[in-house]
Structure 1
Amino acid sequence: MTATQGKRRSTTGPRTRIGSRRRPRTGASASSARKPGKESVFVPLLTVWIVALFLLVTLVLWTKGNPFHRSAKSSKETRTAAISLPSSQGPTPQEKKPAMRERPLQEEASQTARPNGRVQETTAAASVPKAPPGPVIPPTVPRKPPIGRVALVIDDFGYDLAMARKFIDLSLPVTFSVLPHLPHTREVAALAAAHGHEVLLHMPMEPQDYPKTNPGPGALLVGMTPQQMVAEIDKALRENPYARGVNNHMGSKFTEDLEAMRIVLQHLRSKDFYFLDSYTSGRSAALSVARELGIPCTQRDIFLDHEPTEGFVRRQIAELIRRAKLQGQAVAIGHPHPVTLRVLQEEADSFAKEGIEVVPLKKLLEESSGKNSAESGVS
């Protein structure tokens, strides 16, 4: 009986617990576990979708730009433009188009970014460096035109280099005429040209009493062939490449010969040179042949130092000024004598006081040829 009760107790006890207690608890716990599982999955998914949608909208706005910031910026630029260009001082219709084209480039270049991402605008003028102020140029004062012009030609350079340097230092535009084949021919010609003086070839030519009077090495003689004359001229010019014109040294016989002068002047015309007739003979044909060939040419008016004394040179300078006033221009020939140098130094201001301008010989010839062309109707 005891055993029977124990068995019953062992068989009936668990059945009652299983049938009455465990089944209801198992069903209730399963239903309650399923409901929280659905809610926990739905809420995270909804949150993810909302965040994704927000990021998408933010990305679209970021790539397309903020329309509100852009409109504010454009209104600010409009106000700035309206302030900087008042209607009373606005550009003319011709100036508006370039100004509208250049202004956006200047504003874009003058914008800088702040650390917070905003755009800081500066004026366009501040980004352009200002040029330093230049020297103040005084107003041009009209100068009274000269009454006349003169050219001062000094012959026979090539012997004394020291004397040539002294004439170079004169405050007058002296024209240097250099003899060929002398010890300092090359040096004097180069030195004078380097200091801005006009240079001539002082070509030796046959005088009336040749050979008693010797004109020097490389002289042109009437009895030469045309080829010999041309060869002597070219040989002399190789020593003096700075020359742009020629005048005769002596040559009282040679300049009277029409054919001889025609050969010489034709060759000078081919080099675009001009000729100054020293006028050692009253029967010189140089000027007439030059006009026939169309080569610029003039002749000497005054010898400054035919008598190398101070009084004579001063009187000749006064005569030169007088002729320049009457004729409009005049040419003087002197020589590198100490007395000539001294008087020219002392009388340098006399030309300006008398209204006479001292110019290089070529300028005098150019003005003379221009006047002749205007008078003859040649344009």
Structure 2
Amino acid sequence: MNELNRPLGVKSQARKGPKPARSGNLLGLVSLLFAVAAMGLAGWLYLAKEPPIQIAGVPAADSPSQENSEETEDNPAAPPGNETDDEPADESAAENQGVTGLTPLQPSGNIAVPEPRPPRAAPQEAGLAHLPDPELVERGATGAIPRRSHDGRKPMDVYAREPDTTGNFGVARVVLIVGGIGISQTSSQEAVRKLPGTVTLAFAATGNSLMRWMQAARKKGHELLLQVPMEPYGASGNPAGSRLINSAASAEENLANLHWAMSRITNYVGIMNYQGGKLLSEPGALKPVFDEIAGRGLLFVDDGSSGANRSKAVADASLLPYARAHILIDAKRTRQDIAKQLEALVKEAKRTGLAIGVSNGYSETIDMIADFSSRANALGVEITPVSAIVSDPERQR
């Protein structure tokens, strides 16, 4: 009898053999799923509690060092060696608590920002050489004085004469400077007319008709210096009207006299001393003068007349382009002596590569330098302007 034709109310006979294990299999499957889930949860919790990677110098959140630090600061039961009423025993450790191994740098305000190097300005065009560059002049109390332009150009570059050759190719160079231009009208005219443009002319600040001679000299191609009267040995005070830069005067007075001299002409590359043995040996009085000359973009030539002095050291401290003459050509005014000095100048140039000779604007000196200049190439030397042999310390920093 099967389930379909069994009469109602009659129970079916019990089955022989073991009962099917459906319910048991279902319970086993559920238990297995719970076990797998439990293992996954345990693994996730284990990984979540893994301590973080520790950076050198940084204690972990629950590291012993932090606990000890808290005990030292807050726990009265801290070891006696770590107790203090005023400041922590290890001040540096307290300051560096929680700081990485890199030491932070605090701004001190002492970092020097380098100033830009002055640009190398091209010299004036030949047709404009007698006219001052309006960007390179400043109106002073006694007239126009030189200055740097707003873009950093210097008068020593703009008013320079290009040398015949550039670079060091074994050329023996001679610088010839003829001073005293403006003292004698006749000698000034002879110097501008007879001397080639390669000879540098130095104008006396106390001379006459200086602007007229300046323009004539620049049109001829000469490079110019300005001779400034400076205190010699044996001078007594500052004679009225001398405009002497004096070691006993204040810096303000000396700068006022310097500005007066500077305003006498324009279009010059630098300053040369007239006398000045005493001043050039007094660094305290000389330094403000050299600072002012350097600040206005000019160079300085020591004419060598005072022997040993401190001008080179002070010029270095002022970042002032500097040169010193080697030979006084006409200390003795005879033609024979002048010829000997010119010969010595050639020997010095061939020995060292450079020689600077300074002379006065005497008629005989002008004639002999003009003759020497015409023979310079045959003698194996090149006459070059002074600006071409002076280095600029500001560009070497």
Please give the range of the TM-score, normalised by the shorter of the 2 chains: 0.5 to 0.7
Work out which of the residue numbers 275, 290, 293 in structure 2 matches 1:250.
275
* Structure 1 counterpart of 2:183: 159
Query: Counting helix residues as a fraction of each chain, which structure ranks higher?
Result: 1
Structure 2 vs 1, CA of residues 265 and 335 (structure 1 numbering), >3 Å: closer, same or farther? same
Which AA in structure 2 matches 1:150? V
* Residues 205 and 215 in structure 1, CA contact (< 8 A), matched pair in contact too: no
- Quick one: which of 153, 170, 192 aligns to 1:168? 192
Tell me the equivalent position of 1:345: 370
SS at match of 1:298: strand
Pick aligned residue for 1:150 from 142, 166, 174: 174
Aligned partners of 1:267, 1:281: CA distance in 2, in Å? Answer: 22
2:202 equivalent in structure 1 = 177
How much has 1:160 moved relative to structure 2? Answer: 1.9
- Equivalent residues of 1:159, 1:184 under 8 A apart: no
**Would you say 1:264 and 2:289 are equivalent positions?**
yes
Q: In structure 1, what is the equivalent of residue 255 of structure 2?
A: 230
Question: CA 1:182 to 1:259, structure 2 compared with 1: closer, same or farther past 3 Å?
Answer: same
1:145 is displaced (CA, Å) by: 4.5
Show the counterpart of 1:274. Answer: 299
1:291 is matched with 316
Measure, in 1, the Cα distance between the counterparts of 2:175 and 2:336.
Answer: 21
Query: Is the 2:190–2:363 contact (alpha carbons within 8 Å) kept by the matching residues of 1?
Result: no
Taking the aligned partners of 1:233 and 1:349, their CA distance within structure 2 comes to: 36
Aligned residue for 2:390, secondary structure, equals helix
Structure 2 unmatched ranges of 5 or more: 1-167
Taking a change above 3 Å as real, the CA distance of residues 361 and 256 of structure 1, as seen in their structure-2 partners, is same
In structure 1, runs of 5+ residues without a counterpart are 1-143
- Separation in structure 1 between the aligned mates of residue 316 and residue 240 of structure 2, nearest angstrom: 26
**Which piece of structure 1 moves more, 341-350 or 195-204?**
341-350
**Deviation, structure 1 residue 216:** 7.9
Q: Which residue of 2 aligns with 1:334?
A: 359
Q: Are 1:200 and 1:247, in contact at CA under 8 Å, matched by a contact in 2? A: yes
TM-score normalised over the length of structure 1: 0.56
- Larger RCO of the pair (alpha carbons < 8 Å, separation 6+): 2
Tell me if 1:220 matches 2:260. Answer: no
In structure 2, C-alpha distance between the alignment counterparts of 1:365 and 1:251, rounded to whole Å: 21
Report the alpha carbon displacement of residue 328 of structure 1 after superposing the two structures with TM.
Answer: 1.0
Partner of 1:200: 225
Considering only aligned residues, what root-mean-square deviation do their CA atoms show, in Å?
A: 2.6
Secondary structure at the residue paired with 1:347? helix
TM-score of the aligned structures, taking structure 2 as reference length: 0.54
CA contact (8 A) 1:302 1:320 kept: yes
Find the residue that maps to 2:263 and give its secondary structure.
helix
- Contact persistence 2:373–2:383 (CA under 8 A): no
Paired residues of 2:275 and 2:306 also in contact (CA < 8 A): no
Label 1:191 to 1:211 Cα distance change in 2 as closer, same or farther (>3 A).
farther
Provide the secondary structure at the position in 2 that maps to 1:176: strand
Distance 2:332 2:237 in 1: 22
Please say if 1:321 is aligned against 2:333: no
Shift in Å, 1:293: 2.0
Distance 1:288 1:216, change over 3 A: farther
Contact 2:231 2:247 in 1 (8 A): yes
Residue in structure 1 matched with residue 336 of structure 2 by the alignment: 311
How far apart are 1:212 and its partner, in Å?
9.7
1:138-157 per-residue CA deviation (whole Å, 9 max, x = no partner) reads xxxxxx94531111111111
Q: 1:338 to 1:300 in 2, by over 3 A?
A: same
CA–CA distance in structure 2, aligned partners of residues 298 and 248 of structure 1? 12
Contact conserved, 2:197 with 2:220, CA < 8 A, in 1?
no
User: Residue 215 of structure 1 contacts residue 249 of structure 1 at CA under 8 Å; is this kept in 2?
Assistant: no
* Displacement after TM superposition at 1:199 (Å): 1.1
Residues 270 and 330 (structure 1), Cα distance of their counterparts in 2 relative to 1, 3 Å cut: same
Letter in 1 for 2:175: A
Bigger Rg, which one: 1
1:355 correspondence with 2:383: no
Residue 268 of structure 1 deviates from its aligned partner by 0.6
Counterparts of 1:318 and 1:212 in 2: how far apart (Å)? 39
Cα shift at 1:213: 11
**Corresponding position: 1:239 with 2:243:** no
